Amino acid sequence: MNRFERIKKLGEGATGSVFKAFDNTSGILVALKVPEPMPEDIDISAHYSREIELLKSIHHEGVVTVVDSGTDDGKPWVAYEFIKGHTLRELIASGKAFTVEESLRIVRDIARALSYIHDRGIVHRDINPNNVMVTTDGAVKIMDFGIALKPGEPFLRQFAGTPGYMSPESARGEIGGPESDIYSLGLILYELLAGNPAYTGGSVPEVIGKVIVNDFPELGKRKADLPRDVVSIVEKALQNKPKDRYQSAHELAQVIDAILNPQTEVKPSQVDKSVLIESTPKIVGIAGPYRGYEVELGPMITTFGREYADVNLSRDPNIAPQQCWIVPEEGAYWLYDAEDSGGTFLGGMAIKRAKLRHGDKISIGLSTFKWDNASDVSLPARSPRDIEYVPVIPRTPTGAGTQPATDYLKPHGYKQASTGGFSPVLRGFVFSILIVFFCVVIYGFVLLPNGETKKINLVLEDYWVEIDGELTRGSPEVIVSDISNRPEGFKYDELESIELSSSFFFKLPGPASTRRANLNRILIVEKAMQALNAIRVKVVTSELSKEIGKYIKEIDLIALPENDRWRTRKNTILASLRQIETWLNEKALTEAEYQPQIAAGGASKEALQKFLEAYYLITEAAGKPSTEIARNAFYAFQVSRDKALEALDKAGADPDSKALVVLSDYFMVKLRMDSLPSWAPDIIDDSVALLTEGRDMLDEFTDAQFPKAVPSEITDDGYRVRGRLKAKYITLIDQFQRSSGATVPGGNAE
């Protein structure tokens, strides 16, 4: 794509990547979105066309603007305005603590933009901190209308949005109106004020389950020092039912405005007219490369120059990176030359600074602009103190010839600079010092770190050959069998004796990062060798699976540089270990390692503990189970449940047995959801009975009783906290009803 010069990658989403790029056609910076990598299962051309069409219908300062769009080699692209600033998510992640006023102003400005969008029948459906930009001057802009719903579009029942920022109705797959965007905006305000998001969880289903039941910590309890009227805004925006929230974004913005700007009576005599600028000023190109070009100026400093200036004039080859500034001061706008070098001209004369008046002609580079600001007519005439000239040659029109510099300098009392300089001896000494300094830098920052890296890589290469040979010799079964039959273990003593340089250079940032990468490569090899030794000595299948899972987590957390070839090797090791882990889990279940103990243990703590282990093998490690694994696991849970029901019949209200029934009923239906291709009538009836039984029995517990009944081995709060497990049940019931077409008595009612 020759039109754009990509500068750096800004981010990547479901429909492509966004780059900071220079548009060679318009001469401005843009945010270029292209489908790289090409998404699967998406009509990408239709998706881009839809978003472009929607954004071109929106013209609001709080919404990102489309500059241009087109196709290249059959692939669509779209260029958005380049916004200088950060996403709200980046600001939150940086650790910035937002004041109450900052939080309210950001949310008010988002609400104003949403009000404009909603008035045109559009619902954004994905308002979250990643989709809000905060510019360097504090303005906000809403981005990413990829899943926005336009008027008249058919609605497909589906999840839409980011899990932690969805409304309850969106989480249930229902169509959401403007009130859904308001709920999402309320979640942003909650996070800005509390410092943490309202909804968190160990998995997406858990978060969605909380959203559905509106289960989040009260803001007033998290931040007891917040003003009551501010907490009330969040509480109303986050009401479970749409009709109980603010009925428009405009209403929400007005309520916030009332807090930020309490109404006070101001008499005309109290207003200082010297600081008022009533109209929006602008510059208009009247000659040169930017003839006809118009730029409106904001209420803060505006810089003119090349790539990194607020107004990019890089089409003019004579423009400096920072050419000049226009700044509001003392009730007027002032023009400053950036370097005091005489490169900025007002009325044909080079200036350092000058107060601008309507109609002034500003010349920079090869371009001339007219200053257009109707408010200037009310200002007093420009006095000598309002302009400071640079004592250089006046600007001469192109082609008219120039006055020799010496002819100008002599009559005005200026002297030419001396052509002298340092003595030859001093120049030689300085040059020698620079050479020594350069050699030290090359040694400390290049030769020393590279030498250590090369030495370590030579050692690690032999280990990699051995690891790769063991983990790629065949199927997981073959790998485990061959390693188990080795007469001796895998040795890696040499790794512990590698000598590292103690040079002070390794305390500096560059060499220190090289040292960390070298140590992390060694650590990956050590963990891989330890995993191979575990395979060789472990006998019990489930214990080996847990051991391999531990090494997978440890290796996965080891960081390496972007282009390091050990990143690929690390991923190869992880992929092989995960295949072995999955095979071990399947082997443990197909061998019925747990069922006899569960059956024999009845409703005892031992049975519950074995149930827990089976649960982790099925859901946490093996992922979506095969039909055979699911069937064996289903029967294991069924045995546990039946034994627990027997104990309940004999002993009455036994909390341990009740907890086992509740958990078993949940996982029996979940396993069917994950593995059955279709629903037979008898299976539907049985699943309805299981869901009804488990949900109703869960309701018999109090919030305080339930955690005590669940075995301590179950550490996941999603299964220990009654409210969270209830949310899981609600989500599962909703999925089951939509999948099977059946109805569970009581539905998702609390």
Kindly list the catalytic residues: 126
Three-state secondary-structure class, residue 701: coil
Encoded tokens for 483: 């390693």
Using CA atoms, how far apart are residues 421 and 434, in angstroms rounded to an integer?
18
**DSSP letter assigned to residue 621:** I
From residue 518, alpha-carbon distances to 458, 495, 508, 543 in Å are: 12, 11, 15, 32
| Length of the chain as a residue count | 750
Strands, sheet with 140-142, edge to edge from the N-terminal-most edge strand: 85-87, 132-135, 140-142
Encoded tokens for 443: 């040694």
Cα radius of gyration (the chain): 35
Identify whether the C-beta of residue 365 lies closer than 8 Å to the C-beta of residue 318.
Answer: yes
Write the DSSP string, 307-370. TTSSEE-TTSTT--SEEEEEEEETTEEEEEESSSSS-EEETTEEEEEEE--TT-EEEETTEEEE
Of 177, 175, 146, 171, residue with least CA distance to 159: 171
Using CA atoms, how far apart are residues 727 and 49, in angstroms rounded to an integer?
38
Contact partners, residue 584, CB within 8 Å, separation at least 6 = 476, 480, 541, 542, 544, 545, 548
Identify whether the C-beta of residue 518 lies closer than 8 Å to the C-beta of residue 453.
Answer: yes
Contact partners, residue 263, CB within 8 Å, separation at least 6 = none
Tokens 């090359």: give the residue.
Answer: 442
Element (H, E) at 81: strand 75-81
Of 594, 635, 588, residue with least CA distance to 611: 594
* CA-CA-CA-CA dihedral for 641, 647, 653, 654, to nearest 10: -80
Identify whether the C-beta of residue 601 lies closer than 8 Å to the C-beta of residue 610.
Answer: yes
From residue 109, alpha-carbon distances to 62, 146, 166, 233, 256 in Å are: 7, 21, 20, 15, 10
Q: Give just the sign of the alpha carbon dihedral 9, 17, 158, 109.
A: positive
For residue 236, how many other CB atoms are within 10 A of its CB?
Answer: 16
Tokens 């998290």: give the residue.
Answer: 222
φ, ψ (nearest 5 deg) of residue 54: -65, -45
> In terms of C-beta density within 10 A (0-12 exposed, 13-18 middle, 19 or more buried), how is residue 537 classed?
exposed
Using CA atoms, how far apart are residues 12 and 35, in angstroms rounded to an integer?
10
**DSSP letter assigned to residue 416:** P
